[in-house]
Amino acid sequence: MTIDETTVQGHCDPAFKTVREAFEDSFAHGRELGAALAVYADDRLVVDLWGGVADRRSGRPWLADTPCFGFSCTKAVTATAALLLAERGAYDLDGPVTDWWPEFGVHGKADVTAEHLLSHQAGLPALDGPVTAEEAADAAAMADRLAAQTPEWTPGQGHGYHPLTFGWLAGEIVRRHGGRSVGRFVRDEFAGDLDLWIGVPPDVLDRAARMSSGRHAAAKGAAPDDPVPVGADGGTVLNRLSTATGEQLDLMNRAFNNPDPGKGGYNNPVVLAAGWPGAGMVSTATALAGLYRDLVGGRVLRPDTLREGIRRRVDGPDRVTLMDSSFGLGYMRPSMVFFTPPAGQENAFGHAGAGGSVGLGDVEAGIGMAYLPNLMGTQLSGDVRAYRLIDAVYASLT
């Protein structure tokens, strides 16, 4: 089926017309292959847009119900599951992990808390040996691997993004206290009515978008992106990278590239079916935005639990990405790696994904939004496409 790759479908409240314009602009300038965008404002679905193709090879169109891989947007969902169990009194966020995971306490990790696991302070951002996609499908074995490792730094003394291992660390909270996989717990407890999965069923896999490399956009002559405004310290990013030691760069490489997703990368059915709890979610934009709507509305976590969950626990230089990052308990807060306009700096929370995707909530503004593209972005930090959409959403609220 041949379609116009620049056509955007769906509906948009007139008050949010600049959001639609920003979304359409990305298609018009060749920055998108296929994508979906959804925004809830005060529980109303004010933006529900999609366009382009779900699969570059076949030309299959992106439809209203096309789900897409969300990379690290998954982490916020996994963190929500862990926080729900803490709210129920299943474990103590401030207590030692060894109270419920005794094997974890070796090699200087006896004092690690659940807060450390959820805020990227555990010192375990990378696995200590190669792991295949098939091996990574065993969550218990992955947790055992991490429990046996020596941390890269003293836990609690600095933070560094755990791109993939976060899922098996935070996921062990859910496995041990929820008695189920992260994906099963999420479906059972708060996402059963949403088109959102961590561990994709075969029928969903058949209609999911297929991820494509950013090289596709370059080949089509896509307009180059303007830099995202990151503030006066934005120039320090390249300086940190240019002066990074070989050891620092090696840690970054190991953290982001192991496990190896195998043939097809993150289109590999083995990865999608396994539902890596750090980067394995497949969702429609409407469903992911709906989860943030429910978080903001107090229907998943109590308001006090969410406030504690989004309270900044770490903020500043990241030992893995070498950029400034900021995290609550599993949720990103505005920083170099989670760009928001000034209006969102105090209250926005959520998570960005490596391919350009983002999920975002703001209790004060009353919004939940999600953007899921299948053309992977090439930005070192934050995605320009996502930033423009977030900026347009906040501008539409004034």
> Which DSSP string corresponds to 119-140?
TT-SS--S-SS---HHHHT-HH
319-330: b (≥16 Cβ within 10 Å) or e: bbbbbbbbbbbb
Token pair in block for residue 244: 């990074």
Q: Which residues pair with 36 in a beta bridge?
A: 50, 372
Helices (H), the chain: 17-28, 73-87, 114-118, 133-136, 139-147, 165-178, 182-189, 202-207, 215-219, 236-242, 246-257, 269-274, 285-296, 303-310, 384-396
Q: Which residue has the tokens 């207590």?
A: 95
Angle, in degrees to the nearest 10, between helices 285-296 and 73-87: 30
Helix axes 384-396, 17-28, angle to 10 degrees: 160
Q: For this structure, is 213 an active site residue?
A: no
DSSP three-state, residue 338: strand
Catalytic annotation, pick one of 72, 283, 325, 396:
72
Cis amide leading into 229 (omega within 30): no
The answer to whether the beta carbons of residues 42 and 397 sit under 8 Å apart is no
Q: In one letter, which amino acid is 239?
A: N
Give the Cα separation of 259 and 131 in Å (integer). Answer: 5
**Cα–Cα distance between 236 and 219 in angstroms, integer?**
30
Contact 5, 52 (CB under 8 A): yes
Which residues are tagged catalytic?
Answer: 72
